[in-house]
Amino acid sequence: MKKFTILGLLLVVVLVACAPAAAPPPAKALRTKANAGEVITFFHFGDITGPYAAITTPLVTGFNDAVKWVNGKGGIRGAEIKIEWSDTGGKLENAISVYNRYREKKPLILFMYGSPETEALRDRLIEDKIPSVTAGVSGKGLYPPGYAFGEVPIYSDQFGLFMDWLKANWDKVKPAKGQALDSPKIAILTWDTAYGRGALTDETKAYAESKGIKIVGQEFFAVGAPDVTTQILNAKKAGANVLYTNTLAHGPAQILKDAISLGVRDEFLIGGNNWALDLSMLALAGPASEGFYGPFPNLWWTEADHAGIKALDEQFKANARKPAERNVAYMLSFAFVDYARAILEKTIDRVGFDGLTGAAVHETITEMGEYKALDGVMILAYGKDKRAPSKARVIQVQKGQFVPVTDWMVAPDLRPK
Amino acid sequence: MALRLAGDFDTTYAHDMAVIRNRGQWVMTLAFLVALLGLPLVASSYIVSIINIIGINIVVVQGLNILVGYTGQISLGQAAFMAVGAYTSALLVRGGMPFWFALPISGLSAGVIGTIFGLPSLRIKGFYLAMATLAAQFIIPWFFRNVRTDVFGGMPGLVVPPPKLGDFVFNTQQSMYFVIVGLVCLTTILAKNIARTRLGRAFISIRDNDLAAEVLGIAPFSYKLRAFFISAFYAGLAGSLWAHYARAINPEQFHLIDSVWQLGMVIVGGAGSALGPILGAIFVRLLNEASILAAPIIGTLLPSLEASILAALGPMLFGLALMLFLIFEPRGLAHRWELTKAAWRLRPFAH
């Protein structure tokens, strides 16, 4: 009897061992179509009534119009997009409380406006796994790589690109008069803020030196300062023939107007970063803006033959927006919504609607490579260790318009070490 | 003097000095403390974040209230003293010191700097003193922006680690709540008791008439400096909390407008009482939150509104509400609270 029991047990063991593995349950098909009434919310917040107001206010109407436009085309795989926004007035404590309000709604993607909130929230974004595209592109907010992505090249990269162009074209673009015109000698005239000093880093200084360009001075002034003549004269005294500013609206406008009032405008080539190049600067500086240069990572409204600009223009007119809203912020919000739509659709293809999370969206952003938002109005490109795009054109103000003077250039990588 | 409940007599000297005077008040105090401790377990992190910001503001405004409300000295440099505390704490903790030791040192360092900026109070007062303390608001941020940028981080500032206790990291709103609210309780009890000591009575006598105070044997200069020290000490503590709460600091965060708002919180809450700064900080923050929430709602109701008008609605509502408040309640919320309590205790009689 015992023999039979042992044999029986052995037989059971052999049968279990040889039994075919249980067939895996059939893979559940990914749900790539939205359920009826499904909504995806985009969140954006930042300074609309503080120091950046001159440029950021049209973000609100831009986002509303862009979402209406995408929803009109079927939304994101059938899901309707909604928008939630808040004004922080440029105060960090407001940004923190707004962020905490939004994070409870488990955002798939956020849009932020400024460097201060990007820098302060970067660790929280990582902990909460919420990807965020930001217009505040200080290197400190974006690197080491986390969940924040710049919508334009970081300020140090932009300054690097400007120096590349300056070096290559110096003989053609150098000022008519001025001192020691054999090579560019740059003075940085900028706001005494984190944003203002965004281009003034150890990396840009080292890069300038490697290109044989001298940074001969750095002069600071307050946001909204009504006079920068002292700073311009100091720059002249230091031997500068190029003035570069990392400010916006009244910043470049004040430099340009004061250079004219001092009678030294033709002794300097004057340029600034991309936010310096906006309608507000043209309006504030008036004819003084003529000849101002800067790196420009997007197309402009005057490039009316471009399909993306045409689409933007149609939406702008269809929503009866005022001329003052036809600025770069309106464009940025459209480009972001278009980019977010593309990213989310790609993520849905990979993980389905039910797998949509901030982490999944983050993974798509880092893997998707280059994306031409609005058919190329903005070129956005990120990677595993890259948190801001690199392409821009140098433009010049000519007869009150932004006119590109180069083709698309790639900025040097001057991220903080 | 506040009206007491019927039957509430002083039977001992200890009872005469007691803040919490009867069993009912003890029960209510304990219930309040239990609710305070349990709040982060039930409230959303958004609500907790608002309380945290209010808490930091209460600490800094309690300090300012000792200077402005009790001693009658105006200061427009409180945000700058916060910066001293924030940078001290950030540097010490980045250097390896536990937050719990860095916190009081931050208060002390801000206190010392505050005392230095209080020196002009020997010669000047009123608006002139306000202008003198304003200097702190320019000199201190300038110092952090431009001096030893390798240490202070220059304009981009410093990344600050969250507080730790053993292996536990205070990196959520809920965990920071306990740190902040704990300190709010401590500093409020301290502020309340300072006003009841010889020191506090000397402050009040200087506020009411510094000449008469001196005749009575109180050295105004010494006491004014002590008030500056305590006020800046509180600001330093608040700065340390802010640094570890925000986790990134730069000189831009300690702006003149913040000092003005802190003074505004003292006025709105009611200068010269420990309750005033609490009510002032809560009122201003909640009004601020309401204005942030209002603008998008109005935008939804009026979608064709121009962006600049839409954006301005929040701050406009904020300013309007504050203006109306000051017109109808110029003596502050604490005074309104006293009137309400008195009316309730006398009810149904009018007088």
Rounded to an integer, what distance in angstroms lies between the CA atom of residue B348 and that of residue B351? 9
**How do beta strands A293-296 and A391-398 pair?**
antiparallel
A residues 40..79 contacting B (CB < 8 A): 48-49, 53, 57-62, 64
- Chain A nearest-CA distance from B85, in A, is 17
Q: How many CB atoms lie within 10 A of CB A50?
A: 20
* pLDDT tens digits, one per residue of A153-170: 999 999 999 999 999 999
Residue A242's DSSP bridge partners are A186, A269
- Residue that is written with structure tokens 């209010």 in the block: B54
Which candidate in A56, A87, A195 is best for mutational testing of the B interface (most B CBs within 10 A)? Answer: A87
Least CB–CB distance from A194: residue in B155, B293, B312: B155
User: Per the CB < 8 Å rule, is A97 touching B156?
Assistant: no
pLDDT of res. A195: 87
Residue A191's DSSP bridge partners are A221
Q: Which residue in chain B has the smallest CA separation from A223?
A: B252
Rounded to an integer, what distance in angstroms lies between the CA atom of residue A238 and that of residue B298? 52
| Mean pLDDT, rounded, for B262-281 | 90
User: Per the CB < 8 Å rule, is A120 touching B310?
Assistant: no
Least CB–CB distance from A103: residue in B45, B248, B292: B45
Tell me the one-letter amino acid at A201: T
Please count the residues of chain B. 351
- Comparing A2-6, A360-364, B61-65, the range with the smallest average pLDDT is A2-6
- Cis check for the bond before B104: say yes or no (omega within 30 of 0): no
- Say whether pLDDT at A13 is over 80: no
Please answer whether residues B284 and B268 qualify as being in contact, where contact means their C-beta atoms are separated by less than 8 angstroms: yes
What would the two tokens of residue A44 be? 């954006």
**How do beta strands A148-150 and A185-191 pair?**
unpaired
pLDDT tier at A8 (50, 70, 90 boundaries)? Answer: low
User: Per the CB < 8 Å rule, is A96 touching B246?
Assistant: yes
Identify the contact set of chain B against chain A, taking CB-CB distances under 8 A: 44-46, 48-50, 53, 145, 154-157, 159, 171, 173, 245-248, 250, 252-253, 288-289, 292-293, 295-296, 299, 303-304, 306-308, 310-312, 314-315
Least CB–CB distance from B156: residue in A59, A124, A138: A138
B16 by Cβ neighbours in 10 Å (0-12 / 13-18 / 19+) ranks as exposed
Q: Kindly list the residues from chain A whose CB atom is less than 8 angstroms away from the CB atom of residue B169.
A: none
- Give the per-residue SS3 of chain A: CHHHHHHHHHHHHHHHHHCCCCCCCCCCCCCCCCCCCCEEEEEEEECCCCCCHHHHCHHHHHHHHHHHHHHHCCCECCEEEEEEEEECCCCHHHHHHHHHHHHCCCCCCEEECCHHHHHHHHHHHHHHCCCEEECCCCHHHHCCCCCEEECCCCHHHHHHHHHHHHHHHHHHHCCCCCCCCCCCEEEEEEECCCCCCCCCCHHHHHHHHHCCCEEEEEEEECCCCCCCHHHHHHHHHCCCCEEEECCCCHHHHHHHHHHHHCCCHHHCEEEECHHHCCHHHHHHHHHHHCCCEEEECECCCCCCCCHHHHHHHHHHHHCCCCHHHCCHHHHHHHHHHHHHHHHHHHHHHHHCHHHCCHHHHHHHHHHHCEEEECCCCEEEECECCECCCCEEEEEEEECCEEEECCCCEECCCCCCC
Which candidate in A43, A100, A331 is best for mutational testing of the B interface (most B CBs within 10 A)? Answer: A100
B348 by Cβ neighbours in 10 Å (0-12 / 13-18 / 19+) ranks as exposed
Which candidate in A61, A63, A126 is best for mutational testing of the B interface (most B CBs within 10 A)? Answer: A61
Rounded to an integer, what distance in angstroms lies between the CA atom of residue B170 and that of residue B1? 42
Q: The complex's ipTM?
A: 0.84
* pLDDT tens digits, one per residue of A351-394: 999 999 999 999 999 999 999 999 999 999 999 999 999 999 99
| Mean pLDDT, rounded, for B273-278 | 91
What would the two tokens of residue B281 be? 């900080």
- Chain A nearest-CA distance from B271, in A, is 24
Residue A214's DSSP bridge partners are A185
- Residue that is written with structure tokens 């300090």 in the block: B63
User: Per the CB < 8 Å rule, is B306 touching A61?
Assistant: yes
Angle among Cα B300, B306, B307 to the nearest 5 degrees reads: 80
Please answer whether residues A64 and A82 qualify as being in contact, where contact means their C-beta atoms are separated by less than 8 angstroms: no
Rounded to an integer, what distance in angstroms lies between the CA atom of residue B62 and that of residue A328? 44
What would the two tokens of residue A4 be? 């039979």
CA distances from A146 to A122, A126, A414, B160, B235 (A): 7, 6, 17, 17, 33
Rounded to an integer, what distance in angstroms lies between the CA atom of residue A300 and that of residue A361? 29
Which candidate in B308, B310, B316, B317 is best for mutational testing of the A interface (most A CBs within 10 A)? Answer: B308
- Say whether pLDDT at A32 is over 90: no
User: Per the CB < 8 Å rule, is A86 touching B295?
Assistant: yes
Rounded to an integer, what distance in angstroms lies between the CA atom of residue A22 and that of residue A341? 40
- Cis check for the bond before A144: say yes or no (omega within 30 of 0): yes
What would the two tokens of residue A48 be? 């609309």
pLDDT of res. A388: 95
CA A237 to chain centroid: 35
User: Per the CB < 8 Å rule, is B296 touching A86?
Assistant: yes
pLDDT of res. A3: 62
List b or e across B85-94, with b for residues whose CB sees 16 or more CB atoms inside 10 angstroms: bbbbbbbbbe
Rounded to an integer, what distance in angstroms lies between the CA atom of residue A322 and that of residue B328? 39
- The fraction of chain A above a pLDDT of 70, given in percent, is 93
User: Per the CB < 8 Å rule, is A86 touching B292?
Assistant: yes
What would the two tokens of residue A336 be? 């972001």
A residues 242..281 contacting B (CB < 8 A): none
Angle among Cα A333, A334, A336 to the nearest 5 degrees reads: 65
pLDDT of res. B36: 92
pLDDT tier at A193 (50, 70, 90 boundaries)? Answer: confident
Least CB–CB distance from B307: residue in A57, A97, A194: A57
Please answer whether residues B109 and B236 qualify as being in contact, where contact means their C-beta atoms are separated by less than 8 angstroms: yes
Rounded to an integer, what distance in angstroms lies between the CA atom of residue B241 and that of residue B59? 10
Rounded to an integer, what distance in angstroms lies between the CA atom of residue A274 and that of residue A287? 19
- Chain B nearest-CA distance from A42, in A, is 14
Rounded to an integer, what distance in angstroms lies between the CA atom of residue B309 and that of residue B48? 31
What predicted TM-score, i.e. pTM, was given to this entire model?
0.86
User: Per the CB < 8 Å rule, is A116 touching B252?
Assistant: yes
Which candidate in B252, B253, B309 is best for mutational testing of the A interface (most A CBs within 10 A)? Answer: B252
Comparing CA positions, the residue from A147, A141, A52 lying closest to residue A382 is A147
* CA atoms lying within 13 Å on the CB side of residue B69: 33
What would the two tokens of residue A348 be? 């849905």
pLDDT of res. A269: 96
| Mean pLDDT, rounded, for A250-273 | 95
- Chain B nearest-CA distance from A286, in A, is 21
Least CB–CB distance from B315: residue in A49, A100, A120: A49
Please answer whether residues A69 and A310 qualify as being in contact, where contact means their C-beta atoms are separated by less than 8 angstroms: no
Q: Kindly list the residues from chain A whose CB atom is less than 8 angstroms away from the CB atom of residue B158.
A: none
Rounded to an integer, what distance in angstroms lies between the CA atom of residue B239 and that of residue B91? 12
List b or e across A174-183, with b for residues whose CB sees 16 or more CB atoms inside 10 angstroms: bbeebeebee
- Write the CB contacts of A112 (distance below 8 Å, at least 6 apart in sequence): A44, A45, A46, A95, A118, A121, A132, A133, A134, A135, A136, A148
Q: How many CB atoms lie within 10 A of CB A203?
A: 18
Please answer whether residues A285 and A257 qualify as being in contact, where contact means their C-beta atoms are separated by less than 8 angstroms: yes
- The fraction of chain A above a pLDDT of 90, given in percent, is 71
What would the two tokens of residue B59 be? 């600490």
A30 by Cβ neighbours in 10 Å (0-12 / 13-18 / 19+) ranks as middle
Phi-psi region of A399 (alpha: psi -120 to 50; beta: other; left: phi over 0): left
- Residue that is written with structure tokens 């309007």 in the block: B320
Least CB–CB distance from B250: residue in A88, A103, A194: A194
Rounded to an integer, what distance in angstroms lies between the CA atom of residue B81 and that of residue A108? 39
Q: Which residue in chain B has the smallest CA separation from A139?
A: B156
pLDDT of res. A406: 96
What would the two tokens of residue B182 be? 């704990």
- Say whether pLDDT at A276 is over 80: yes
* Residue A196 near chain B (CB below 8 Å): yes
* pLDDT tens digits, one per residue of A329-340: 899 899 999 999
pLDDT of res. A179: 80
User: Per the CB < 8 Å rule, is A140 touching B246?
Assistant: no
User: Per the CB < 8 Å rule, is A140 touching B156?
Assistant: yes
What would the two tokens of residue B41 be? 């377990």
Q: Kindly list the residues from chain B whose CB atom is less than 8 angstroms away from the CB atom of residue A116.
A: 250, 252-253
* pLDDT tens digits, one per residue of A94-140: 999 999 999 999 999 999 988 888 988 999 999 999 999 999 888 88
- Chain A nearest-CA distance from B308, in A, is 6
Quick one: CA torsion of B126, B132, B138, B141, rounded to 10 degrees? -90
- The mean pLDDT value of chain A amounts to 90
- Chain B nearest-CA distance from A237, in A, is 21
CA distances from A337 to A169, A190, A211, A405, B46 (A): 36, 31, 38, 29, 26
- Say whether pLDDT at B287 is over 90: no
